[in-house]
Amino acid sequence: MHVLSIFGTRPEAIKMAPLVAALRREPRVRSTVCVTGQHREMLTQVMALFDLEADHDLDVMRPNQSLNGLYGRLIAGADAVLEAEQPDCVLVHGDTTTAAACAMAAFHRRIPVGHVEAGLRSGDIRSPFPEELNRRFVDSVSSWMFAPTPSSRDALLAEKPPGRIWVTGNTVIDALAATVERLESDRPLAATLEKRHGWVDARRRLVLVTGHRRENFGAGFRNICAALRELAQRDDVQIVYPVHLNPNVHDVVKAQLSGLPNVHLIAPLGYLDFVWFMQRAYLILTDSGGVQEEAPSLGKPVLVMRDVTERPEAVAAGTVRLVGTSPERIVGEARRLLDDPAVHAEFCRRGNPYGDARASQRIVDVLCERHTAEFVP
Ligand code: UD1
Ligand code: UDP
């Protein structure tokens, strides 16, 4: 069976890396990889870490690209690769423009699509934007829907007949487990990271921040920055913010937060380094999907700067709280966690609602029509 995996952004690469490795190990599969290059620097970081090599690179990224321009370049580029490779199946991941356009290109050529991380739903077509629509669209053309959790399976079953849906766990937990294992077992590597990030102040509590959602552009990001400015007045915290390269994020954040003594605006971190920072964080403020999934496995409290989430499991488990983007709410919830150890301890209960690090093998088993036990949280 010839399986063509297509991905193009940082989170897709992190989450597809363990699956591509499992496909490579499977004798019944011929695995090829196409990167779209929807992201450039942030993709390259992940490809190098996980030793991923692309057979095709569509190189579509443009500075401050528009969604429609991107979509057009993706359709044309993916079509040429499908023509050349003639795969039996195309795997795409999640909810990006890469996933939607490449699923569309495969559908037009009547090539079956497998959707990794199927069935997440916020219930609001405008948030995350445009990802909620992308994910629904990819599910609607997929022959295999790999739902990470029982609740994503249930969301699919509310829309579609059974038979093409499997609960696999999320491959991000495969990637995280492998990375944590590497950080714990490779002492010289751990020493290198300690040295590289020697400026981190162990006497202050680390508040780790990420953000990039389109629905937060403009007022949302200005509010987030106002909240961070206020939190930065405390001298018992150190705020570390690896800033996404999207100019709609980068330019606002730099303008609003540069020069504050305990706010460290840094370049996007490689995954190994980011996991190292998550392990040390007292609290994480984010609008990222992947970080919401990783934090419960690390036992880290997360305040999600969004109004809705398509990942309800960690909210139900109590590790993640939705706080929107109002500065008062962000600062108020952060203060509770910083000032009340009992509240912090409640958030820190470790759990694995998103996976058991065996998702990739389950997906390969399904593709090879072998029996596989579904993921049970
Ligand atoms: C995309 C995905 C989003 C995902 C996010 C992860 C869509 C619609 N959105 O959003 O679902 O959560 O990636 O980060 O697919 N840039 C660089 N270098 C990079 C990466 C980005 O310079 O390595 C800049 C470029 O100017 C680029 C811009 O960021 O045009 C926006 O990138 P794009 O992929 O369109 O959007 P994201 O906001 O990253
Ligand atoms: N991440 C990273 N470096 C960073 C910030 C995040 O490697 O500087 C990782 C993070 O651990 C998670 C993924 O990138 O696995 C999330 O990516 P992003 O927030 O860009 O996208 P989303 O998950 O929201 O789609």
Contact assessment for residue 290 and residue 266, using Cβ atoms and an 8 Å cutoff: no
**Rounded distance, CA 359 to CA 343, Å?**
32
Is-catalytic flag, 264?
Answer: no
Q: Tell me how far the alpha carbon of residue 17 lies from the centroid of ligand 2, in angstroms.
A: 14
369 Cβ neighbours under 8 A, 6+ residues apart: none
Instruction: Choose, from 40, 164, 214, 329, the residue flagged as catalytic.
Output: 214
| Confidence (pLDDT) at 352 | 85
**Structural domains of the chain ordered from first start:** 2-170+355-367 (3.40.50.2000), 192-349 (3.40.50.2000)
| Ligand 2 nearest atom to the CA of residue 14, by list position | 15
Is-catalytic flag, 117?
Answer: yes
Residue 52 vs residues 45, 55, 91, 155: alpha-carbon distances, Å: 10, 10, 16, 32
Residue closest via CA to ligand 2's atom 3 equals: 269
308 in contact with ligand 1, CB cutoff 6 A: no
Residue closest via CA to ligand 1's atom 35 equals: 65
What tens-digit pLDDT sequence spans the chain (377 residues)? 999 999 999 999 999 999 999 999 999 999 999 999 999 999 999 999 999 999 999 999 999 999 999 999 999 999 999 999 999 999 999 999 999 999 999 999 999 999 999 999 999 999 999 999 999 999 999 999 999 999 999 999 999 999 999 999 999 999 999 999 999 999 999 999 999 999 999 999 999 999 999 999 999 999 999 999 999 999 999 999 999 999 999 999 999 999 998 999 999 999 999 999 999 999 999 999 999 999 999 999 999 999 999 999 999 989 999 999 999 999 999 999 999 999 999 999 878 899 999 999 999 999 999 999 999 99
Structure tokens, 98: 């890469």
Is-catalytic flag, 95?
Answer: yes
64 in contact with ligand 1, CB cutoff 6 A: yes
| Confidence (pLDDT) at 252 | 94
3 in contact with ligand 2, CB cutoff 6 A: no
Residue closest via CA to ligand 1's atom 4 equals: 96
96 in contact with ligand 1, CB cutoff 6 A: yes
| Confidence (pLDDT) at 261 | 87
83-120 residues labelled b (16+ CB within 10 A) or e (exposed): eebebebbbbbbbbbbbbbbbbbbbeeebebbbbbbbb
The structure's pTM equals 0.97
Is-catalytic flag, 339?
Answer: no
| Confidence (pLDDT) at 349 | 82
Is-catalytic flag, 371?
Answer: no
| Confidence (pLDDT) at 350 | 77
| Confidence (pLDDT) at 304 | 97
Is-catalytic flag, 204?
Answer: no
**Rounded distance, CA 109 to CA 165, Å?**
22
| Confidence (pLDDT) at 197 | 97
Structure tokens, 114: 């497998």
Instruction: Choose, from 93, 135, 205, 212, the residue flagged as catalytic.
Output: 212
| Confidence (pLDDT) at 141 | 97
| Confidence (pLDDT) at 351 | 81
